[in-house]
Structure 1
Amino acid sequence: MVMALGPVGQIHISVSDLDRSIPFYRDVLGIPFLFRVPGQPMAFFQSGDVRLYLGQPESPRFQSNVLLYFTVDDIAAEYDRLTAAGVTIDEPPHVVHRDEASELWMAFLTDPDGQNLAIMQNRLTPRAGA
């Protein structure tokens, strides 16, 4: 099936204090910072192929309530790193799905504005007796 639209290029995340949110996304989460728009409450980050736009919406119509899932290579190590940085993890790493080939692990946290975020890792299922 051919997709009518292209892939997601940008996601808006509503923030109340850009000066507080930029260090969280850049320094704590480690997402590459692109730029801040001078004179506007707007900052941009690059998360893989998707750009994250942090901003204070001009009207309630554009207020976002998102749940972002970030992939990680080692969920236990990332959990340890985030908790050491003072991030409260609402739900520690746990399996949310398992099949013959893999397990999907997730942990849930919030940003300074209470936006829901998750880290996730897909692990190959160990073979019985291997």
Structure 2
Amino acid sequence: MTAPIDPRARIGHVHLRVADLDRALGFYCGVLGFALMQRYGTQAAFVSAGGYHHHIGLNTWDSAGGAPAPPGSTGLYHVAILYPTRAALADALSRLDAAGIPLTGASDHGVSEALYLDDPDRNGVELYRDRPESDWPRDEAGGLQMVTRRLDLAALRAEATLR
């Protein structure tokens, strides 16, 4: 048996194949609010939150003009973007509402609250915020007990600061 991974390891970025770079940038920068850090013509771009070199890479190297993966195929299920607060997640929902981007789901998992949607290339996207660990649901033995309940979108919308 091998030793476990160092607990400080993190996912540094995700790189997505897209059919149209400008369309993808319109979504990730124009709707979600990521900043464009660098662009390589019509082939690739790197976007970030907070000035990091990149959280999301977008490229058309093998996918320019391509179709999304068909249902039933393997690949990315979704990329999850962690928001620091409930108000920040509410602001993300306001951005989606303003852009007319529909949700594919919205769940309260006890440990987190999550919005689910597709980007323009039908890559799954989860926007979520974690609850403080002290608020996580536990069973009688103290074990973590994740749940899936409907997220109250009206209550979340009421917390938005972007109007």
TM-score, structure 1 length as denominator?
A: 0.72
Counterparts in 2 of 1:44-55, with a 5 A limit? 44-47=46-49, 50-55=54-59
1:110 is aligned to 118
Identity %: 25
**Can you give the 5+ residue segments of structure 1 that lack an aligned partner in the other structure?**
none
TM-score, structure 2 length as denominator?
A: 0.59
The alpha-carbon deviation at position 69 of structure 1 amounts to: 0.7
Instruction: Decide which of 90, 101, 120 is 1:87's aligned counterpart.
Output: 101
Q: Does 1:36 align with 2:47?
A: no
The alpha-carbon deviation at position 43 of structure 1 amounts to: 0.7
1:68 is aligned to 79
Higher strand share: 1
For residues 45-92 of structure 1, give each alpha carbon's deviation from its aligned partner in whole angstroms, at most 9, with x where no partner exists. Answer: 124655311001337xxx963511111222334223312221111113
**Can you give the 5+ residue segments of structure 2 that lack an aligned partner in the other structure?**
64-68, 70-74, 137-163
* Letter paired with 2:15: H
Q: Supply the distance in 1 between the matched residues of 2:95 and 2:20 (Cα, whole angstroms).
A: 24
Instruction: Decide which of 13, 16, 21 is 2:16's aligned counterpart.
Output: 13
Q: Is the 8 A contact 1:24 1:111 kept in 2?
A: yes
Q: How many residues align?
A: 115
